[in-house]
Structure 1
Amino acid sequence: MTIAFENVGIAVRDLEEAIAFFADLGLEVIGRDTVSGEWTDTAVGLDGNHARIVMLGTPDGSGRLELFEYIHPQAIETSPTLPNEIGMHRVAFSVDDLDAALATAARHGCLPLRGVAEYEGIYRLTYLRGPSGILVMLAQDLRKNP
């Protein structure tokens, strides 16, 4: 048996807002669709499942992010995940210029939770809240991009 990583899926409140945020950070839209029907009810485990979806990818092809906005059943608002909660934690991206990425995020109203940290002279990194409260980590490898 072989296994390969496919993507991370995240339900969002506003699909277009989330696409704009992640596209501005450098992800590329791979495809969009609206899905519904028996096959999606079965796959997802929700009767009447109907959602708008978009697949985003990193320019180097190493990762994909699937965002979906529910049309039916109605999306359920929850509190944003805290860094120490069990479960889906965050989505992380390497960037070559953390300051530029933070400026892009700020244009979307997304700021670091506390600030920018440096890990042993290897990484500069931070967590921020993206659209719909998504916890996003941005990290710059100082060995590659000082």
Structure 2
Amino acid sequence: MTIKLENVGIAVRDLEETIAFFTDLGLTVVGRDTVSGEWTDTAVGLDGNHAKIAMLQTPDGHGQLELFEYIHPDAIETEPTLPNEIGMHRVAFSVDNIDQALGIAAKHGCHPLRGVATYKDIYKLSYVRGPSGIIVMLAEELKKSPAPEEQ
């Protein structure tokens, strides 16, 4: 059996606000739709499922986020997750410049949970509380891995 990660799906409060946040960070919208009907009820497991969706892709073409804003049933507001809660935790991105990425996030009113940390002189990283309470990890690699031809 072959398995491949297709995307990470995130329910959001405001689709346009969340798209703006992630596109400013460098992702690209590759598709949008409004979905409903028996097939979505069956696939998602909710009767009367009706949602606006957007698929976003990272510049390297490997990572995708599926964002969805529920029209029906009503979205359920919950407290934002904490870093130590069981369940879906966060979405993580490598960035070339963490300070620039944090500046972009701040323009959207999204700030680090605590600050920027350095892990073993390998990464600078920070958890940011993004739109709809999404935890977004941003990481800048400090020690670049040698290219395959250099090894």
User: After TM superposition, is the score higher than 0.5?
Assistant: yes
Question: Displacement of 1:57 after TM fit?
Answer: 0.4
Q: Gaps spanning 5+ residues in structure 2: where?
A: 146-151
When the two structures are superposed, what TM-score results if normalisation uses the length of structure 1? 0.98
- Alignment-derived partner of residue 52 in structure 2: 52
Question: Displacement of 1:127 after TM fit?
Answer: 0.2
Matching of residues 18-37 of structure 1 within 5 Å: 18-37=18-37
Alignment RMSD: 0.9
| 1:87 partner SS | coil
- Alignment-derived partner of residue 71 in structure 1: 71
Matched, 1:39 2:36: no
Amino acid aligned to 2:22: F
Give the whole-Å Cα distance in 1 for the aligned partners of 2:116 and 2:144.
18
- Alignment-derived partner of residue 62 in structure 1: 62
Matched, 1:122 2:122: yes
Amino acid aligned to 1:118: T
Give the whole-Å Cα distance in 1 for the aligned partners of 2:31 and 2:46.
23
Question: Displacement of 1:144 after TM fit?
Answer: 2.8
Give the whole-Å Cα distance in 2 for the aligned partners of 1:136 and 1:129.
6
Q: Gaps spanning 5+ residues in structure 1: where?
A: none
Amino acid aligned to 1:15: L
When the two structures are superposed, what TM-score results if normalisation uses the length of structure 2? 0.95
- Alignment-derived partner of residue 106 in structure 1: 106
**How many residues are paired up?**
145
| 2:87 partner SS | coil
Give the whole-Å Cα distance in 2 for the aligned partners of 1:86 and 1:24.
29
- Alignment-derived partner of residue 90 in structure 1: 90
Runs of 4 or more above 3 Å deviation: none
Give the whole-Å Cα distance in 2 for the aligned partners of 1:144 and 1:19.
30
